[in-house]
Amino acid sequence: MNLRRRAGGFTLIEMIVTVTLVGILLTIAVPSFWKLILNQGIKTASYDIFAAMEYARSEAIKTNGPVSIRAGASTDGAWTTGWRVVNASSTVLRSWSAASNLSITETANSGATVITFGPDGRVTSPAASPRIQLDPAATESGVSTRCVGVDLIGRPITRMGACS
């Protein structure tokens, strides 16, 4: 009768082969995953701006007074730092911050930083219907640009592609 038992587990060779295969698979998958993360970040930010526009428009109609979206999450600044919805007395109703890897610009009015909705729900300022374009901060192939704008009757719209 043989009393020797074989120890369970993996051999060093099996472990090295497994770690090498995992490394190769990660090398292939990570670049595609990074593009997915960038695309989702742009999509999320565009929907956040869309929601801010919807909220500002509905508040303007509800309060029968002007409500604005201002660039800058806490103070006036650039769209890339965030945005906030303020009423006629400059009270901040809501604010959003933007992801750091995005470029956000207003393209229809030479970089306007304030969008104001009047009591009828239409944009009163700036003069042309605003269009905000969202891009990755660094040029990246395979990452989609998005555009958030306002139609002629004041409804926010969002679509894929550059603002035209």
The answer to whether residue 74 is domain-embedded is yes
The answer to whether residue 1 is domain-embedded is no
Give the residue numbers spanning the domain of 147. Answer: 12-160
Q: How far is CA 110 from the centre of its chain?
A: 21
Report the chain's terminal Cα–Cα distance, integer Å.
85
pLDDT average, residue stretch 72-85: 90
Q: Which of 7-11, 46-50, 98-102 has the lowest mean pLDDT?
A: 7-11
The answer to whether residue 7 is domain-embedded is no
The answer to whether residue 6 is domain-embedded is no
The answer to whether residue 3 is domain-embedded is no
pLDDT average, residue stretch 88-97: 94
The answer to whether residue 91 is domain-embedded is yes
Q: 77 with 106: CB under 8 angstroms?
A: no
For position 132, what pLDDT does the model report? 94
For position 142, what pLDDT does the model report? 81
3-state helix, strand, coil in the chain (%, to 5): 35, 25, 40
3-state secondary structure at position 20: helix
Name the residue with higher pLDDT: 119 or 99: 119
pLDDT tens digits, one per residue of 108-139: 888 889 999 999 999 998 888 899 999 988 87
Q: The domain spanning residue 144 has which CATH number?
A: 3.55.40.10
Q: pTM surpassing 0.85?
A: no
pLDDT average, residue stretch 21-49: 89
The answer to whether residue 105 is domain-embedded is yes
Residue 1 confidence (pLDDT) above 60: no
Q: Which residues contact 38 (CB under 8 A, 6 or more apart)?
A: 101, 136, 140, 143
The answer to whether residue 2 is domain-embedded is no
What's the domain count of the chain? 1
